[in-house]
Amino acid sequence: MAIYTHIGRLFQGKARFPAYVMLLFSFLAVAAQKAPQKKLKILILGDSLTEGLGVEKEDAFPALLDAKLRKWQEGFLVINGGSSGSTSASGVRRLKWYEKAQPDIVLLALGSNDGLRGVKVEETRKNVEAALRFCQEKQWQVILAGLKVPPNYGADYAGAFERIYPDLAAKYKVPIVGFLLEGVAGETGMNQADGVHPNERGHERIAENLFRFFKPMLAARFSKAAKPG
């Protein structure tokens, strides 16, 4: 719009624009106002919990979070990067595939299947850390999603697994969602018959938790971007 105002000033007090030129400027001004803005892309990289195994794609929490963010404010796109059966070992390889999507923010929700399979905690930690570092090298804002596992392999294993996420968040100074399945894990009405995968209500709860997490962070981000200089 500034360029049209500038041109108008140059011709102020001089010969009037031909009607077709004025019409062209009007068209360009309207087109500029309607031009789509670049969306802020949030990639959620996870496993079957993220993909939404057992529910429709639109009922999985990434799609529900996308809808909540759009209702709050335009300009967001949440990408479902879930892959059923995947472990943390595939994290970096999958992030490389999502480079073409050019995400701005990446929520890493990696490790659930590691815990269910009894993968060594040190191995899971190494894989999650490698994914985190890859995101930072690409200058994507990275967030960790905390995860827990049932005590099938003993309390020591479960405790060591749970500490992976706050430890890495502190080491790399990144935000963390305390527990991705807060209010869902272990709740009969929130999970499918297998007791592991959330049902529609469970996904809605996860989406609501994430929306409350993201909202102040994104508001602060936009506020900072809007400041001059």
List active site positions. Answer: 48, 194, 197
Using alpha carbons, list the distances in angstroms from residue 59 to 51, 111, 125, 228.
10, 22, 30, 40
**Which residues lie below 8 Å from residue 107, measured CB to CB, with a gap of 6+?**
42, 43, 44, 45, 142, 143, 144, 145, 177, 210
40-46 and 176-177 strand pairing: unpaired
Q: Which amino acid is at 2?
A: A
**Three-class SS state of 139:** coil
